[in-house]
Amino acid sequence: NAGVTQTPKFQVLKTGQSMTLQCAQDMNHNSMYWYRQDPGMGLRLIYYSASEGTTDKGEVPNGYNVSRLNKREFSLRLESAAPSQTSVYFCASRDRGSWPQHFGDGTRLSIL
């Protein structure tokens, strides 16, 4: 039972580098989400996808892009990484008509 799988688990980047965070879910959920979690600030929504083929901005979208590749996969891209984007990134999915979200174990990203 994999649930939500995120890769990589850890990454260190230099300022200005680009990278894509991958997320896949095997629960046939329609909605998928990307959050960042900073110390003492809980979870802040970056982007979400209510269904395959749609994406919407969340609370803190600047500096990020997303792609809903298919129903299973939702990727998050940093085009030009900045130190302010150092954080733990969580992907989550949710079934239509059901509120609880299922989270992956996170990607710990450090930008120097």
Which region, judged by CB under 8 A, interacts with another protein, from 11-19, 60-68, 76-84, 100-108? 100-108
- Site for another protein, residues 4 to 63, rule: CB under 8 A: 4, 31, 33, 35, 40-45, 48, 50, 56, 58-59
CA distances from 95 to 27, 31, 54, 89 (A): 8, 6, 15, 21
Token pair of 92 as six digits:
């989550």
Tell me whether residue 58 or residue 63 sits nearer to another protein (CB atom). 58
The Cα–Cα gap between 26 and 4 comes to: 7
Q: Report angle CA 67, 68, 73 to the nearest 5 degrees.
A: 115
Whole-number minimum distance, CB 42 to another protein, in Å? 4
- Contact mark string toward another protein, 65..94, x via CB under 8 A: -------------------------x-x--
The Cα–Cα gap between 15 and 31 comes to: 31
- Interface with another protein by CB under 8 A: which residues? 4, 31, 33, 35, 40-45, 48, 50, 56, 58-59, 90, 92, 99-106
